[in-house]
């Protein structure tokens, strides 16, 4: 797990519109980089819709949000459209970026061993430093917690 104070690994990935998105190209006070296992599954939908539902608060605080999974771009496009997601979903098909964030590897869902993306979240400041880190998060109320934690940084 990466820790607050670590430099955030940079990346360029394709978004759900098949456009390149780079961490260092995001113009925001903070960027939420959240990793999730699979588009349009119950937990991942809850998490993504939580970010959508808190979108006004993120925008008011000048916070960008990107969700990263190993899903192909086409799957992300359908997920974003179905749930009216206002932020970029990024495709990391080989798990390279997730791995750089210690968010990819062996796991055992339903008793079988597979390689995949872990549900971790990082908040990165404008200088590229991780300032908040959340490991193995629960999708319920996760976005609201991040809004509160970012607000506390600025107090």
Closest CA to 137 of 13, 25, 46: 46
Q: Which of 44, 65, 98, 147 is catalytic?
A: 44
Angle, vertex CA 74, rays to CA 8 and CA 130, nearest 5: 10
Residue 110 burial (C-beta neighbours within 10 Å; 0-12, 13-18, 19+):
exposed
d(CA 34, CA 68): 6
Half-sphere exposure of residue 15, counting CA atoms within 13 Å on the CB side?
16
User: Could you tell me which residues come within 8 angstroms of residue 46 by beta carbon, excluding any fewer than 6 positions away?
Assistant: 139, 140
Q: Is 44 a catalytic residue?
A: yes
Chain centroid to CA 98? 10
Q: Which residues are catalytic?
A: 44
């Amino acid at each position: 797990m990466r820790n607050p104070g670590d430099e955030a690994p940079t990346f360029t990935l394709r978004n759900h519109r098949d456009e390149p998105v780079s961490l260092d190209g995001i113009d925001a006070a903070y960027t939420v980089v959240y990793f999730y296992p699979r588009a349009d599954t119950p937990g991942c939908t809850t998490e993504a819709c939580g970010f959508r539902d808190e979108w006004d608060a993120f925008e008011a605080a000048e916070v960008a949000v990107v969700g990263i999974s190993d899903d192909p771009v086409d799957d992300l496009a359908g997920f974003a459209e179905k749930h009216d997601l206002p932020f970029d979903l990024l495709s990391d098909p080989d798990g390279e970026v997730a791995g750089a964030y210690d968010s990819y590897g062996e796991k055992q869902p339903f008793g079988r061993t597979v390689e995949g993306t872990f549900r971790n979240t990082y908040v990165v400041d404008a200088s590229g430093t991780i300032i908040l880190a959340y490991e193995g998060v629960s999708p319920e109320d996760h976005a609201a917690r991040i809004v509160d934690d970012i607000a506390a940084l600025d107090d």
